[in-house]
Structure 1
Amino acid sequence: MEKESFEDLEVAEFLNQHFISIKVDREERPDIDHIYMEVCQTLTGSGGWPLSLFLTPDKEPFFAGTYIPKKSRMGMAGFLSILEGVRSAWDNNPEYLMESSKKILNVLQQTQLLIKKEIEQNIVDQAFKQYRNDFDSIFGGFGSAPKFPSPHNLYFLTRYWYHSKNQQALDMVEKTLDAMYQGGIFDHIGFGFSRYSTDRKWLVPHFEKMLYDNALLAIAYLELYQIKKENRYAEIAKQIFCYVLRDMTSEEGGFYSAEDADSEGEEGKFYLWTMDEIIEVLGKEEGIKFCEYFDITEKGNFEGKNIPNLMKTPLNIMESEFIIKSREKLFQKRLERVFPHKDDKVLTAWNGLMIAALAIGGRVLGDKKYTSAAEKAVEFLENRLFREDGRLLARYRDGEAAFLAYADDYAFYIWGLIELYETTFKSNYLEKALKLNGDLISLFWDNEKGGLFIYGSDGEKLIIRPKEIYDGAIPSGNSVAALNFLRLARITGQQELEGKAYQLLNVFGNRIESYPKGYAFSLMAILYMQSEGKEIIIAGQEGEKELQKMISKVQVKFSPFSSCVVVTGQQDDICDLIPFISNYKSVEGKPTAYICEKYVCREPITDSSQLEKML
């Protein structure tokens, strides 16, 4: 539609003569996108992008549509005829359009009403049954084509497995993550995941790559590595990080948003190969061998060309030195092609997700380069995305930070800071998380009914002020905030935050119970409340080997309902953030671990092997 209408001179002339045209980047203004997408869904029964709306001067909508052809065809009204119809109606009977917009606004306001309901304990079991019924046992994932990764669904299932010991939940996660990696949705030459698969098998992607998908998927593979201890999951996470740090990271340390699907006007052209191209780069013998491994044929699997994939290669076959070197040769050859456009916006919310992923990667894989990248990104956000008065902003590009940050920005960045604290145990990250969490509540909390609004009390006043907890391609700010509240409560002892999480989830209780599967991250928070997690406090002196061993024993284990705090003699400031921590001392001058459950602590442990057994 961009090429067909918005860049068309005939359409442009009519628009400029009769309308004020406003183009909205939905990633920069998710508040506007969310409100008017709800309008479109209310009016048409469906939504999607491109999204076109016609508004009164008071920003009240009276017509909405998604794709509209330039000229009418096959019973579908064309954009030009709609423009003429709207112009005529506005000139001759504007009261009718104004009245229509008022009716639409009334309906929209009704959809925002929430029925508060205390969530039933068995909601997690109901959700699991929905996932199980929707699971594709042949190709993994849920439902049929198109298939989106939606890694938060997998996070819930791993936690449900951990909580209930239901092996089927973990099997679904493993099947899905294996199938996604084997398919063409993963870039087997340059790494990183595409946005979604157009087919059921995960073979043919929409070739666009999004930062948020790669952050969330890296966490999913790291968690499965913690559980299964199979190196291939660690390697997949490393490959995702390789892509992000190589192609999606600015010199200052911020992470770019996305890479387009198209290059030279063709979707996927940058990523596709013919068998002859492979043989030309690798030689006949090695080329044929490589083609067999990655299912590359003369016929091709996508419009006469090939999407490299591992769907016919057993996963237990480790990558040989030959494959690694051959892939590098092909990667170097691919650098000669015209690159897809890179969206070099730095979005606070998505950077928060990648900070979380890299922090988890740093501690699970024991690799400081991932931790350093997360820390550098935090430094970037602190320097570039805060106003002088401390207000967080949403977007940075070309030296300019703009737009007051939304609930998602705060929630996702706080998540990243919590993960970075639990990786480094540097108190400044916990301090930042607590400060931002206070700002989030101050600016976004609904003091009458509870829950977080999408935009802050200091933001532009739009036709409604919505709240959202539904988890789409990425989790909602409300659901992530609920889990943040719980984790910060456990870490610091600030029990009022646990009460906030409980209140938030109950505000949306009726929605969540109506379709539990659509609220995976909220279900994670519910499981966190239901589970008897551990609080682990480790006291010692900075630099002691036994202290590091103890920390490592905690960090490598998948323990999603536990928290860990480390206190050393050099960290007096941690006692200001966590007052109760001063009660925990080293025993006989040795690094000492305390494991606490239900506010009761076991005997102190001074040996890392014993700690491992107790965990």
Structure 2
Amino acid sequence: MNQLSSETSPYLLQHAQNPVYWKAWNDKTLAQAAASNKLMIVSIGYSACHWCHVMEHETFENDEAAQTMNAHFISIKIDREERPDIDATYMKAIQIMTGRGGWPLNVVTLPDGRPVWGGTYFRKEEWIETLEQLQQLYTNNPEKMIDYAEKLHAGIQSISVMQPQKSENELRQDLLKPLIEKWKKSFDPEFGGMARAPKFMMPNNYKFLQRYGYENHDSELLDFVDLTLTKMAYGGLFDTIDGGFSRYSVDMKWHVPHFEKMLYDNGQLVSLYSDAFKRTKNPLYQEIVEKTLTFISKELTTDEGAFYCALDADSLNAGKHLEEGAFYVWTKRELQELIKDDFDLFVQVFNINDFGHWEHKNYVLIQNQNIETLAQANNLSISELQNKKKNWEQLLYSAREKRSKPRLDDKVLTSWNAIMLTGCVDAYKAFQNEKYLKTALKNADFLIKKQWHTDGHLWHNYKNGKSTINGYLEDYALLCEAFIALYEVTFDEKWLLHAKQLTDYCFDHFYEEQSAFFSFTSKLDQQLIAPHYETEDNVIPASNSVMANNLHKLSIFFENPFYEETVTKMLQHIVPQIDYPSAFSNWLYLFLKDSDQSRELAICGSEAIQNLKNINQEYLPNVIVAGSEQETNLPFLNNRFSKNENLFYVCRNKTCDLPKKALSEITDLKP
């Protein structure tokens, strides 16, 4: 029987009515596979995944396919967001087997979990035929399948184990220049981003490129970052009507997205656009942040202050059938009826023409000219056109709210919540909107009360009032980063103490001294067929790179040499091996700590918080800030507080200048 109806994952519940006898991944299911000596089908996806829905409809809802699966296999459904450890392990397997990956991810394994075959999306006929061939082979010649499984397992282990390496050469900053030059060759000079499709936003790439360009006065690089951020904001990728970004664009011009909206993308993009606003004061960037946070507040925030995971790509169309993008797209006739007399102008702004056409007479709104240019061309003031655009968006919003909304993935993940928490803090830094800080503090309170157990471990998942699944390294690393961010806007040292407590827990339960890296899963958890060390930055930075960045800051705040030694060892392993910098951008961001531009700033005195606000509104990625309005025992601030003075200490590589008495006297924070 299908056993998924007792699960809480929205993705698993989507499959609860399939004729397939789906089971969840647990000790009982694995024991059953071993006892029955049956091959396992491990099928992995997530609730907002369009092609997961397609394969479900075409294959897993089909009685013939279900009959084959039920007769010969133990079939397990997995939500990759709940179990990123299992997903990472089997993703390595199919990448070895096929040279590519993606979701849905489907593998067939021996009863002990070692994979023998796999891929992504399969049509029903191919799926059934392959399963029958695999079952026949396992029945008639199991030795051949076991031999292949052993070789594949060895391959998975070889790419999973971290071999300690130390560069014989000094890690010098000039190693960066050839990497950047190589990276530039893949830039799209017309629409920004990388010159390929599909286009993923990869916020961490632009976080690094922006900082590198800023510190090295590389105007070409900064122009490219601004081009990318502008084109992403103009494209259908960004929902100009209600805020929020979709996961990626299927085309080169950021026009047609895969329409799912993920919390982790939007949290990082709020941070990125907030930083870009601090550097440029571009009002477009502020608009993007404000709209996105409004969307998060309306659609993805719980009464407890937690954040839901995602909105689906699919929604019910007029015929009550699930269709990708149905909620978001428009026909020309619909738009004409809504916009009326202003339609000709609307066409110019949002390209209701060949440039903005998607398919089947549907349009996805996209801009290719700024408001200033269009206002001048139409003899309007900029404010007039901005007001018209705002009114059009409100009209479309009201009309769209009458449609069936995309399905909500209403589980809460600690790691993703931490990303969004950091996004709110970064928005507060840039815009000093108290609402953003209140949102961040409420979320932090939720995570501490619900997701942080009294024995020190974090929970990964929260749903229906219940915390489940022992936390992964990503939960600790990203929450530690969020707590440090809260300290950076409040100077409340409890956030640093929380971050240090989480970090020390990770050293006890995740750290592998031989490799100098942290494993993805806790030593308390049952190990899978191969260990997993997350080191390559992707749409979310690698948990090891996040932890390394945290350790660097904490080593300064607490003057902890062990933390800094650990960071050095990690960088010595990673940096010399970098070939494709886009996969290591968060490591490269950390590597900039050794540049001549790096500073630490201590702000002490009765006006420390107000001075901090002024500092936080500046783009100073090269500066680590600490401070206090009173005497403190924080090592970095020791003996730097004077009761009747406001003092500013600028430090470089553990050496500090004499204190200044006014912020205006500090002249060397900016490159």
Q: TM-score category by the smaller chain?
A: over 0.9
Name which of 473, 485, 504 aligns with 1:419. Answer: 485
Q: Is the 8 A contact 2:215 2:597 kept in 1?
A: no
SS in 1 for 2:196: coil
Amino acid at match of 1:227: R
Instruction: Compute the displacement of 1:323 (Å).
Output: 2.0
**TM-score of the pair, normalised by structure 1:** 0.93
Q: Is the 8 A contact 1:158 1:173 kept in 2?
A: yes
SS in 2 for 1:378: helix
Name which of 227, 233, 236 aligns with 1:175. Answer: 227
Name which of 603, 609, 612 aligns with 1:551. Answer: 612
Q: Is the 8 A contact 1:124 1:527 kept in 2?
A: no
Aligned to 1:602: 657
Tell me if 1:53 matches 2:118: no
Distance in 1, Cα, partners of 2:409 & 2:440: 20
Amino acid at match of 1:560: P
Name which of 221, 226, 233 aligns with 2:278. Answer: 226
Identity %: 33
Distance in 2, Cα, partners of 1:366 & 1:612: 23
Task: Give CA-to-partner distance per residue, 1:384-433, whole Å, 9 cap, x none.
Answer: 21234221011111222211111111111111111111011111111111
Amino acid at match of 2:617: V
Instruction: Compute the displacement of 1:314 (Å).
Output: 4.4
| Aligned 1:19-168 pairs, distance under 5 A | 19-71=73-125, 78-113=126-161, 114=163, 116-118=165-167, 120-121=171-172, 122-168=174-220
Amino acid at match of 1:536: L
Q: Is the 8 A contact 1:356 1:374 kept in 2?
A: yes
Aligned to 2:330: 273
SS in 2 for 1:271: coil
Distance in 2, Cα, partners of 1:412 & 1:263: 31
Distance in 2, Cα, partners of 1:269 & 1:515: 37
Distance in 2, Cα, partners of 1:3 & 1:384: 36
Greater shift, 322-331 or 346-355, is seen at: 322-331
What are structure 1's unaligned runs of at least 5 residues?
Answer: 72-77
Aligned to 1:249: 301
Instruction: Compute the displacement of 1:221 (Å).
Output: 1.1
Aligned to 2:563: 497
SS in 2 for 1:46: coil
Tell me if 1:332 matches 2:398: yes
Distance in 1, Cα, partners of 2:165 & 2:290: 43
Amino acid at match of 1:450: A
Instruction: Compute the displacement of 1:52 (Å).
Output: 1.1
Q: Is the 8 A contact 2:620 2:669 kept in 1?
A: no
Instruction: Compute the displacement of 1:170 (Å).
Output: 1.0
- Distance change (3 Å), C-alpha of 1:96 and 1:432: same
Greater shift, 427-436 or 593-602, is seen at: 593-602
Name which of 497, 501, 504 aligns with 1:435. Answer: 501
RMSD of aligned alpha carbons: 2.0
- Distance change (3 Å), C-alpha of 1:286 and 1:509: closer
Task: Give CA-to-partner distance per residue, 1:318-377, whole Å, 9 cap, x none.
Answer: 662232223112212111100011111111111111111101111211111111111111
Instruction: Compute the displacement of 1:516 (Å).
Output: 2.8
Instruction: Compute the displacement of 1:273 (Å).
Output: 1.5
Task: Give CA-to-partner distance per residue, 1:495-547, whole Å, 9 cap, x none.
Answer: 32111111122233454x23333211111111123344222112223xxxx44
Amino acid at match of 1:552: K
Task: Give CA-to-partner distance per residue, 1:430-464, whole Å, 9 cap, x none.
Answer: 11111111112221111212111111111121111
Q: Is the 8 A contact 1:208 1:259 kept in 2?
A: yes
Distance in 2, Cα, partners of 1:354 & 1:614: 28
Task: Give CA-to-partner distance per residue, 1:4-63, whole Å, 9 cap, x none.
Answer: 111212222221222111111111111111111111111122222111111112111111
Q: How many residue pairs are counted as aligned between the two chains?
A: 597
Distance in 1, Cα, partners of 2:201 & 2:558: 34
Distance in 2, Cα, partners of 1:201 & 1:13: 44
Instruction: Compute the displacement of 1:115 (Å).
Output: 5.8
**TM-score of the pair, normalised by structure 2:** 0.85
Q: Is the 8 A contact 1:412 1:480 kept in 2?
A: yes
Higher relative strand content: 2
Tell me if 1:529 matches 2:594: yes
Instruction: Compute the displacement of 1:244 (Å).
Output: 1.1
Aligned to 1:320: 386
SS in 2 for 1:508: helix
Name which of 493, 500, 520 aligns with 1:454. Answer: 520
Q: Is the 8 A contact 2:488 2:626 kept in 1?
A: yes
Amino acid at match of 2:158: Q
Amino acid at match of 1:516: P
- Distance change (3 Å), C-alpha of 1:386 and 1:548: closer
| Aligned 1:503-542 pairs, distance under 5 A | 503-511=569-577, 513-541=578-606
Aligned to 1:75: none
Q: Is the 8 A contact 1:294 1:313 kept in 2?
A: no
Greater shift, 191-200 or 164-173, is seen at: 164-173
Distance in 1, Cα, partners of 2:109 & 2:291: 46
Q: Is the 8 A contact 2:556 2:636 kept in 1?
A: no
